[in-house]
Copies of this chain bind each other. A is one copy, B any other.
Amino acid sequence: MLLTENWIHIDKTVQVPVYLQIANGIINLIRQGTLKPGSALPASRILAGKLAIHRQTVVAAYDELYAQSWVDVYPRKGIYVAKNLPDITPRLLQGTIEKSCFASKTYFEVDENKIPFPDLFKPANDTNLIFNDGFPDTRLAPVELMVREYRRFANYHFTSKYLMYGPEHGSENLRIELARFLGETRGLQIDPEHILIAKGAQMAIYLIAQLLISRNDTVIVADPGYPAANQVFEQVGASLELVPVDECGIDLDAIEAICKKKKVRLVYVIPHHHRPTTVTLSSERRMQLLELAHRYSFAIIEDDYDYDFHYSSSPILPLASADYYGSIIYIGSFCKTIAPGIRIGFMVSPPNLIVQAMRLRKMIDRQGEQLLEEAMANLLKNGDIGRHLKKANKIYHERRDILCRLLQEQLGEHINFKIPDGGFAVWIKYLNGLTAFDVSQKALTMGLTVNNGKDYFYKNLQPNQFVRLGFASLNPKELESAVGILANAIKKLV
């Protein structure tokens, strides 16, 4: 039979290379049965003439067909459609019907409350303006730096190094650079063996909870606090003890009172810009907390997720920097530094815990994304992260000041707040009988999403007076509009 120019359609404007278009065209002819198994294909010279293209392009197409097993090549005879086509038709199962629908529910029992769905505030998607919980502005994310690193992935020799299984505690290069970075910025005297690279601080919390907490172990958390951590602790069976937070941080007397009554396994603290209240744990309390940990032998998770974002005063060195006894597991993240979608976090602890965390991590997902970890290692090594942090701090500092000024000017009589030292949000208390729920409802009708107060206090979904306003991802004009709407919403309520 004869191939004609009409049988294969070549379109030079599309992205698919011409040789692949020809190969795909011939595959379609074989699949349709137009070209039968065993039939000869035209010589490359002849087909090239018909299609008015270079002969080498046809040769490349035939090579592709051969590599995919669609043709057999007989030297000096020619190229023939393969007798055994590579299109594999799976063998049907005995007694199956042709089109079965997938079951809509498992036949075996699934406890649909095993992982409860936290009843938290979900932003509506239909407003342009959102006071979020305190996320960085992805418009300021150093995408150009990431893109520069991704360009290196385009180098075969670089990429091919990371195709096999890698270390379950993360890239060696990243652990080396991170040990240096944490030493320079946080005074941590650590080696790479103290570090496990995790997928965000979240995975670090999960690993620690699984390793340290047994059913009914007592875990102390702040209230208001961080539900994504509380949920993990409860999932492994922890009995949570809640302690209050004042302007110097978590209440140590309350912690000690609990320790006197029962064995405490773990205390979870956010020492800088505690979420949601934004307070920083004072230097004195830090030393006292270390002493308590020593006296009562509990472990501390020090979640220092936004240590790198400080505006009006310097950060305080982490508890981990003065932890001579080994009570602290220090966790942090680059999800706020680069962007929430770029998930690299870490845990720092004595090696006997790191080894257990490595083995558990290997069971969960084997290892991290090696190429991404190499990219981050290089950004730390080049000082790019440090430079980006300085620029971002300057911008977020301005935004914090703008939001606080606008709140004071337009809402001064209806709210109370303290200017946070750093971080991404302001914690305010509504006055004059306003509730976060009512303000949220009213603001939504006016085009602004603002939290309804559900996310802060442990399992207390009653209307309350508190709200956290993230300022980092709104530019000055957006901050002005958002506060304007908030002020109008409140005016209608009081």
**Cα distance A366–B297 when bound, in Å?**
31
Task: Compute how far the CA of A338 lies from the CA of B313 in the bound complex, rounded to whole angstroms.
Answer: 49
Indicate whether A364 sits within 8 Å of B93 (C-beta atoms), given known contacts A102-B188, A352-B106: no
17 additional A-B pairs beyond A108-B327, A111-B211, A206-B364, beta carbons within 8 Å, are A67-B391, A68-B390, A68-B391, A86-B394, A90-B186, A91-B283, A93-B321, A94-B287, A96-B321, A100-B321, A100-B324, A102-B348, A114-B211, A115-B356, A138-B160, A147-B153, A232-B363
Q: Mark A313-325, 1 if CB is under 8 A from B, else 0.
A: 1111101111111
- Which of A217-253 touch B at CB < 8 Å? 228, 231-232, 235
A163 & B188 in contact (Cβ 8 Å cutoff): no
Known: A88-B310, A114-B356, A317-B93. A143 touches B159 (CB 8 A): yes
Give the docked Cα–Cα distance between A406 and B299 (Å).
58
User: Which residues of B are found within 8 Å of A155, using beta-carbon distances?
Assistant: 147
Is A75 close to B, CB under 8 A? Answer: no
Q: Which chain B residue has the least Cβ–Cβ distance from A204?
A: B365
Say which residue of B107, B313, B340 sits within 8 Å of A164 (CB atoms): B340
Count of A residues near B, CB < 8 Å?
Answer: 129
Contact between A163 and B189, CB atoms less than 8 A apart: no
Report whether A143 and B115 are in contact in the complex, using a CB–CB cutoff of 8 Å: no
A141 at the interface (CB under 8 A from B): yes
Give the B-binding residues of A (Cβ under 8 A): 24, 64, 67-69, 86, 88-96, 99-112, 114-117, 135, 138-139, 141, 143-144, 146-147, 150-151, 153-156, 159-160, 162-166, 185-191, 194, 198-200, 202-203, 206, 211-212, 228, 231-232, 235, 265, 283-284, 286-287, 293-294, 297-299, 310, 313-317, 319-327, 338-343, 348-353, 355-356, 359-360, 363-367, 369-370, 372, 383, 387, 390-391, 393-394
Q: How far is the CA of A371 from the CA of B13 in the complex (A)?
A: 27
Question: Across the interface, do B107 and A297 meet the contact criterion of CB distance under 8 Å?
Answer: yes
What is the distance, in angstroms, from A340's C-beta to the closest C-beta of chain B?
5
Say yes or no: B199 contacts A93, CB within 8 Å.
Answer: no
Q: How far is the CB of A392 from chain B (nearest CB, A)?
A: 10
Given A323-B103, A356-B114, A283-B94 contact (CB < 8 Å): yes
Q: Are A163 and B151 in contact (CB under 8 A)?
A: no
Across-interface contacts of A188 in B (CB, < 8 A):
102
Asked if A112 contacts B355 (CB within 8 A), the reply is yes
Verify A322–B189 contact, CB threshold 8 A. no
> Which residues of B lie under 8 Å from residue A89 when comparing CB positions?
314
Q: Contacts A93-B316, A356-B114: A202 and B364 contacting too (C-beta < 8 A)?
A: yes
Given the known inter-chain contacts A114-B211, A352-B105, please indicate yes or no for A88 contacting B202, CB distance below 8 A. Answer: no
CA distance A303 to B101 in the complex (A): 20
Residue in A135, A265, A327, A350 whose Cβ sees the most chain B Cβ within 10 Å: A350
| CA of A480 to CA of B372, assembled, Å | 37
Complex CA–CA separation, A323 to B100 (angstroms): 8
Of A313, A339, A390, which is in contact with the most chain B CB atoms at under 10 Å from its CB? Answer: A390
A340 to B161, CA, bound (A): 12
Closest 5 CB pairs of A and B: A103-B326, A163-B339, A199-B365, A68-B390, A115-B359
How far apart sit A20 and B326, CA to CA, in the bound complex (Å)?
A: 41
Chain B residue at minimal CB-CB distance from A66: B394
Q: In the complex where A100-B189, A114-B356, A365-B202 touch, is A154 in contact with B163 (Cβ < 8 A)?
A: no
Task: Point out the residues of chain B lying under 8 angstroms from A156, CB to CB.
Answer: 143-144, 147
Chain B proximity of A342: nearest CB distance (Å): 7
Give the residue of B99, B310, B364 whose beta carbon is less than 8 angstroms from that of A364. Answer: B364
Residue of B nearest to A157 (CB): B143
